[in-house]
Structure 1
């Protein structure tokens, strides 16, 4: 049986699938990855056969939209821009797959696989890497763009989420999706966040101590650990210059605002000022041009990319947007986190860290050098935070989300 992996999104969505593909190939399975075109080089580095969904220009247009990073408008922009990937995915699966010979493992946004499941009868495994993607009345996630959402009762947050489905997500995603389904003689989808869960199997790539399982989660959901996969990113080791910088002084603060962020100028200006106020060194990670000031002072360095699994164990703290993959790497390193959320799941991940005593959250408007310095000083001076981070590091070291997920996929194959 051939396993077809479908990953739609940015690095945080695609790298876990490169990890899954590499492990499945090691176990003797035939695997091919379909993902946005810019990830072809990472798939080639991992020796994974690759099918491009769209072009590099298509991907750049999607992530360059300023509204993509707006707390309320971001979801609408996301689903509008990635709607084309649904048709590309379905067409590819329809051309190259046969029931009984193919298993599809798809990311949250890889909903073209769900269309293929409904039309062609292909077995599909849905993979959610964020707790936010799983609905629950009793433990509803914190949605972006809702002031003081973390203070609301869970059932009220759930009700607001249903409103976001109706007026934001479904309004952006369903017209084009249902036009495709109509051409295929399929009934329309009424609510995307319910339908995108495969009835075959759902893999939740986060541990139960980070997001406790709920009685109203789908029965076909299996929870696994974090996918720690930055070794499949743009570099596997620290550059010589960065290693020398780390050796030359005390542990620095590390700042990143995500691989796809195009509007991080204010964040990195504040990062430089924060290093000055605290007297700490800093590492700024930003792959996009124009994000970081050109006149960096001594003690602050900028790199497009560095493997967090190697860098963060040598850092004092991580200040970042709150993406779940970045969260997981800092947990594995056992360091405090300060989350400056932007959109999507960032607010939810930040609140989970805060509740577990592993970090703090500052909204972007409150991310000033003086305020952030006070928060960081409190985190770094707290024995309670240090103990919580050490406990999280030990927990993550005992887990392997990629291996556990592949075990679940193989059990599914055996059962069929």
Structure 2
């Protein structure tokens, strides 16, 4: 059996697929990963065969688009760019996968895999990394750029989400997808957020205690749990400079605004002011030097990347954008977190973290040195938050989302005669 893994997106989207690919290799399967070009080296390090979807310039162009990080404009920019990769993804599957000998495991935005499932009759598993993509009238997710009060009924949020399908997501993605489908003799897709679910199997990369199944979720959706996959990033260990910094003083505040973010200058400027107001040390995680103030005091260090599973046990708190992978890492480490949401699922993740009493959130507009310092001071002093974080950390004992995902993939795999 050959397993074709396809992941479109940034680190948070691709790292779980690297982890799943590594585990499938360990189990003796023939595996190949198709993903954006910058992740080729990550795959090579673990011996995972790799196919590049686009080149490094394509990836850089997409993540540098300022619209991507706007609460309301981000969806149109994201879905438009991902839809443009549909034909390329489909062509690669059509040339390499074989019915009866292959299984395709694809991320939410790998639309070409769903086209291949319909046209080529291949077994396809959809992997959803975040609860936000699961529609429900009963527990509709928090939508970006829609300032509804917390008491707004779920059905209202669901109705607004359907409007986003019709007026934002559909116009951005469906014209190019349906034009290609017409070439293949397939009927047009009417609503993307329904169609992107494989009718065969959906794997949810989060546990049921984080987002419980709802009566109107697809019956083929299965929780497998959080995949703790940060060791498959740029490095699997802390650098010498960072290790020495952590040993030299009190637990620092860790600030990150995501691996794909290129407009985080204001965030890190405020982060520095917060550290100074609180008299706390700080670790700034940012892939590009230009986002971090050029002159930092000795109490603050900047590193391009560090595996959070190794860093967070030494941290007092994590302040971040609200990506699902970062949220999971903080929960697994028992680290209090403050989320400053940007776009996409960040607002929904922030609401879930607050509901679990594991952290707090602050809007970008209200994220100032004064408010940020006051909110963090209360967070760090809260025994309720500390207790909730430790209880949630224990929930990860014996849980392995990567292994559970591989078990589910094996159950769907074509059997050799």
| Same fold (TM > 0.5) | yes
Query: How many equivalent pairs are there?
Result: 416
Which residue of the partner structure matches residue 128 of structure 2?
128
Which residue of the partner structure matches residue 182 of structure 2?
182
- On the 8 A contact 1:37/1:54 being kept in 2, the answer is yes
Aligned-pair distance for 1:415?
7.4
Aligned-pair distance for 1:350?
0.3
Aligned-pair distance for 1:414?
6.3
Q: Distance in 1 between matches of 2:12 and 2:218?
A: 24
Which residue of the partner structure matches residue 225 of structure 2?
225
- Cα deviations across residues 318-352 of structure 1 (Å, max 9, x unaligned)? 00000000001001110110000000000000000
Aligned-pair distance for 1:378?
1.2
Q: Distance in 2 between matches of 1:153 and 1:397?
A: 35
Moved over 3 A (4+): none
**Gaps spanning 5+ residues in structure 1: where?**
none
Q: Distance in 1 between matches of 2:309 and 2:398?
A: 15
Matches within 5 A, 1:258-407: 258-407=258-407
Which residue of the partner structure matches residue 52 of structure 2?
52
- On the 8 A contact 2:262/2:291 being kept in 1, the answer is yes
Aligned-pair distance for 1:213?
1.2
Which residue of the partner structure matches residue 170 of structure 1?
170
- On the 8 A contact 1:62/1:82 being kept in 2, the answer is no
Which residue of the partner structure matches residue 92 of structure 1?
92
Q: Distance in 1 between matches of 2:320 and 2:80?
A: 26
Which residue of the partner structure matches residue 9 of structure 1?
9
Q: Distance in 2 between matches of 1:206 and 1:120?
A: 30
SS of the residue aligned with 1:214? Answer: coil
SS of the residue aligned with 2:207? Answer: coil
How high is the TM-score relative to the length of structure 2?
0.98
Which residue of the partner structure matches residue 70 of structure 1?
70
Aligned-pair distance for 1:46?
1.3
Aligned-pair distance for 1:73?
0.3
- Cα deviations across residues 63-110 of structure 1 (Å, max 9, x unaligned)? 110000000000100111222221111000111121111100000001
- On the 8 A contact 1:43/1:49 being kept in 2, the answer is yes
How high is the TM-score relative to the length of structure 1?
0.99
- On the 8 A contact 1:284/1:301 being kept in 2, the answer is yes
SS of the residue aligned with 2:85? Answer: helix
